[in-house]
Homo-oligomer: A and B are copies of this chain.
Amino acid sequence: MTTTTGQEIADALGTLLRRTTRARLYAHLTEGLGEALDELTYPVLSGLTRTGPCSAADLGRAVELDRTTVTRRADRLERAGLLRREPDPADGRATLLAVTDEGRELIQVTRQRLAARIERSLDAWPGTDAEVFARCLRRFVDEGPFADDGADAGQG
């Protein structure tokens, strides 16, 4: 592969990782869905939808957030009725976080919005470019330059 390919990706990544990019996207996705659902709380609720009911610590591990951060964000979601706390019947210490029906609905709306935005921007792409891109992006994110393990860059 050519060096320019790396540079091209690096550039795109730079703009993609901006705070404002994330903020803008989440603002669009959660627009009109209430104060509680925003850039910070969405990942918690969405993650919880994936994992199913679980502890704050486990959810934190799943979405790479500190346990206490999850707790605080969950407070907001609970106050808004999007998330429910219930004692773990199997463990007296634990508190299970669970998405309420209302919360699930909002997550569904948000995800549809996101999918729609993505699909709209990919509509004009020729041939199977969109599908190929999706697979490549998935792979890139999973195995890409964000890995935790070693991979000392060394830079020559």
Q: Which residues of A are at the interface with B, using a C-beta cutoff of 8 A? A: 1-3, 5-22, 24-25, 28-29, 31, 43, 46, 63-64, 109, 111-123, 125, 129-138, 140-141, 143-146, 148, 151, 153-156
Contact = CB atoms under 8 A, between A and B. Distances in A.
Contact of A116 (B13, B114, B154): B154
A33 B136 CA distance: 32
Contacts of A29: 153
Contact of A118 (B10, B117, B119, B154): B10
Indicate the member of A29, A120, A155 with the most B CB atoms within 10 Å. A155
A138 B5 CA distance: 10
Contacts of A136: 125, 129, 132-133, 136
**Number of copies of chain A assembled together:** 2
B63 A6 contact: no
A28 B153 contact: yes
Given A17-B22, A113-B153, A130-B1, A8 B135 contact: yes
Contacts of A156: 112, 116
Nearest to A150: B28
B116 A6 contact: yes
Given A3-B119, A112-B155, A137 B137 contact: yes
B17 A113 contact: no
Nearest to A118: B6
A14 to B, nearest CB: 7
